[in-house]
Amino acid sequence: MPVDRPEGAALPAGKGARIDLSGMTKRYGGAAAVDDVTLTVEPGEFMTFLGPSGSGKTTTLNMIAGFTDITSGTLRIDDRPVGDVPAHKRDIGVVFQHYALFPHMTVAQNVAFPLRQRKVPRAERDRLVAAALETVQLPGHASRYPRELSGGQQQRVALARAIVFSPRVLLMDEPLGALDRKLREFLQLEIKRIHREVGSTFVFVTHDQEEALILSDRVAVFNNARIEQVGTARDLYERPATLFVARFLGESTILRGTATPDGSRARLDLDGLAVQASGGVRSGPAALVVRPERLRLEPDRPDAAGTGGNAVPVTVVEEIYLGSARKLEVLLPGGGRGLVREQAGTASDLRVGDRARLCWHPDDCVLLPDDPTTERIFT
């Protein structure tokens, strides 16, 4: 039987806790759902776990929450090891994808639930519940039942319930997955705002890379039970560390070949062609990754002088008109597809079917170790 919290042990002091994951592993039988994950979430940070289904992000979250036992590794919150602490004693707020509101309690009773467990006296309880509902902008709904609320409102009640006891850590497991797009966008901003107001450490799980980039201070990209890269949105987008990260976040053009060192840069040989990249691996099978907005298409004139950058002959196969910009899909030598983004003001006048030269600067691309397994995921 769990020991009740002693009287006087008040609510946690609020603000954000530091979370240290060290070598965290979860095995089911022989297979690892989470494999040696090491990560530090700074106090008050908004961290997102991003990755496809089955990548281990939700299992890691569950281990932090205490819903799943840790097979090996350590978990520290505010420098205290909590691996052996049962979930109901961890003082962590959790928001679930399907709200998990108690159907037999009113909104106010739902939000007051964690306070009742902590034996907060009635008057204080009512005050905190009202404040929490205010924070999520649902002040008038206290005596309604969950079934009378819309999905977005239910999720906001769930949020209120999770923050009312001022936890230093708030975990969210794909909370917006069940909502339609407009609502999702609205609530994303709400969550960002609440994070600023409340100041706790937020850990957010999603498979939607746009969501991750909008909300987070930093993102940890999960794949196959491991973290491939942790960094700010900019880090991940401009300097992806693996081919998986490059392909999972944003769009890219990929050229495959063999890399060899070339002075301060690396050279990639593609069946007779050679291009250069400033950053990344310097030898072995490699993939060169360029973002659409860093590519330029130039007409295929034999006399056109190179600008000192890379150039590859391509054929335009598709045009996608976006109003303020357009995207052109091109056929690369070797058969792959590339994607170029042109802003409306500076677009070329190339059409589908035209031959062109795909140009970019070596500093605007990165050379990554080739990873054939990504073919399975992204095609």
Partner 1 sequence: MSARLARAALWITGALVAAWLVAPTLVVIPLGFTDKVSLTFPPTGWSTRWYANFFGDPAWTAALANSVLVGVLVAVVATTLGTAAAFGLSRWTNGRGAAAASVLLLAPMIVPGIILAIGIYAVFLKLGLAGTLAGFVAAHTVLALPFVVVSVTASLRTFDVRLETAAASLGAGRWATFRQVTLPLITPGVVSGALFAFVTSFDEVVVSLFIQSPTLVTLPVQMYSSVTRETDPTLAAAATMILVLTTVLVGGGLTLAARRNRAR
Partner 2 sequence: MAALLSPLSPSGPAAAAAPGEKGAGSRRGTRNWPFLLIVPALLVLLAVFAYPVAQTFVSAFTTPTPGTGNFAWFFGSPANVAVLTRTFSTALWATVICLCLAYPYAYLMTVASPRARAALLLIVMLPFWTSLMVRTFAWLVLLQDTGVVNGFLGLFGLGPVSLVRTQAGVLIGMVQILMPFMVLPLYSVMSGIDRRLLTAAESLGARPLVALLRVFVPLSLPGVAAGATMVFITSLGFYVTPALLGSPGEALISQFMYTQVSGMLMWGRGGAMAVVLFAATLLLIGLLGLAMRAGRRSRASAR
User: In the complex, which residues of this chain contact partner 2 (CB under 8 A)?
Assistant: 33, 58-59, 62, 66-69, 84, 86-89, 96
Of residues 253, 254, 248, 181, the one with CA closest to residue 209: 248
> Cβ atoms within 10 A of the Cβ of 291, count?
22
Q: Considering the complex, what minimum distance in angstroms separates the CB of residue 49 from partner 2? A: 14
Q: Considering the complex, what minimum distance in angstroms separates the CB of residue 69 from partner 2? A: 7
33 binds, among partner 1, partner 2, none (CB under 5 to 8 A by kind): partner 2
Of residues 88, 132, 84, the one with CA closest to residue 110: 132
Q: Considering the complex, what minimum distance in angstroms separates the CB of residue 56 from partner 2? A: 10
In whole angstroms, what is the distance from residue 326 CA to residue 319 CA? 7
165 binds, among partner 1, partner 2, none (CB under 5 to 8 A by kind): partner 1
Nearest CB to partner 1, comparing residues 117 and 232: 117
92 binds, among partner 1, partner 2, none (CB under 5 to 8 A by kind): partner 1
Q: Which two tokens stand for residue 358?
A: 């795909």
In whole angstroms, what is the distance from residue 128 CA to residue 139 CA? 12
Strand partners, 219: 48, 231
48 binds, among partner 2, partner 1, none (CB under 5 to 8 A by kind): none
In whole angstroms, what is the distance from residue 21 CA to residue 81 CA? 10
Nearest CB to partner 2, comparing residues 69 and 197: 69
Q: Which two tokens stand for residue 55?
A: 């990548």
> How many Cα atoms occupy the beta-carbon half-sphere of 312 within 13 Å?
35
114 binds, among partner 2, partner 1, none (CB under 5 to 8 A by kind): partner 1
103 binds, among partner 2, partner 1, none (CB under 5 to 8 A by kind): partner 1
Q: Considering the complex, what minimum distance in angstroms separates the CB of residue 83 from partner 1? A: 16
Residues that bind partner 1 (CB under 8 A): 1-2, 4-5, 65-67, 86-89, 91-94, 96, 98, 100, 102-104, 113-114, 116-118, 161-162, 165
Q: Considering the complex, what minimum distance in angstroms separates the CB of residue 173 from partner 2? A: 8
68 binds, among partner 2, partner 1, none (CB under 5 to 8 A by kind): partner 2
Nearest CB to partner 1, comparing residues 85 and 325: 85
Angle between helix 122-135 and helix 151-163 axes, rounded to 10 deg: 130
Burial class (CB in 10 A: 0-12, 13-18, 19+), 175: buried
3-state helix, strand, coil in the chain (%, to 5): 30, 35, 35
CB 44 within 8 A of CB 199: yes
Q: Considering the complex, what minimum distance in angstroms separates the CB of residue 2 from partner 1? A: 3
Q: Considering the complex, what minimum distance in angstroms separates the CB of residue 206 from partner 2? A: 16
In whole angstroms, what is the distance from residue 120 CA to residue 365 CA? 57
